[in-house]
Structure 1
Amino acid sequence: MTVEDIILETRNLTKEFKGFTAVNDVNLRVRRGDIHALIGPNGAGKTTCFNLLTRFLTTTHGQILFNAEDITDVPAAKIARRGIIRSFQISAVFPHLTVLENVRVGLQRTLGTSFHFWKSEHTLSQLNDRAMQLLSEVDLEHFADTLTVDLPYGRKRALEIATTLSMEPELMLLDEPTQGMGHEDVHRVTELIKKVSAGRTILMVEHNMAVVSGICDRITVLQRGAVLAEGSYAEVSGNAQVMEAYMGTATGVLEGAH
Structure 2
Amino acid sequence: MPPLDLPLGIGTSGLDDPTECTATVAAALEDGYRHVDTAQMYDNEAAVGDGIERVCGDPAVDIDREDVTVATKIHPTNLAPEDVRRTARESLDRLGLDRVDLLYVHWPTDAYDAEATLPAFDELRADGLTEHVGVSNFTPDLLREARDILDAPIAAHQVECHPRFQQTELRALADEFDHRLVGYSPLARGALFDDEAFLSIAERSGRSPAVLALAWAVSRGVTPIPKATGDHVAENLRAVTAEIPDSVLRAVDALPPGDRHIDRDDAAWNR
Fold shared, TM-score > 0.5 on shorter chain: no
Q: TM-score, normalised by structure 1?
A: 0.36
Higher RCO, 1 vs 2 (CA within 8 Å, ≥6 residues apart): 1
Larger radius of gyration: 1
Choose between structure 1 and 2: higher strand proportion: 1
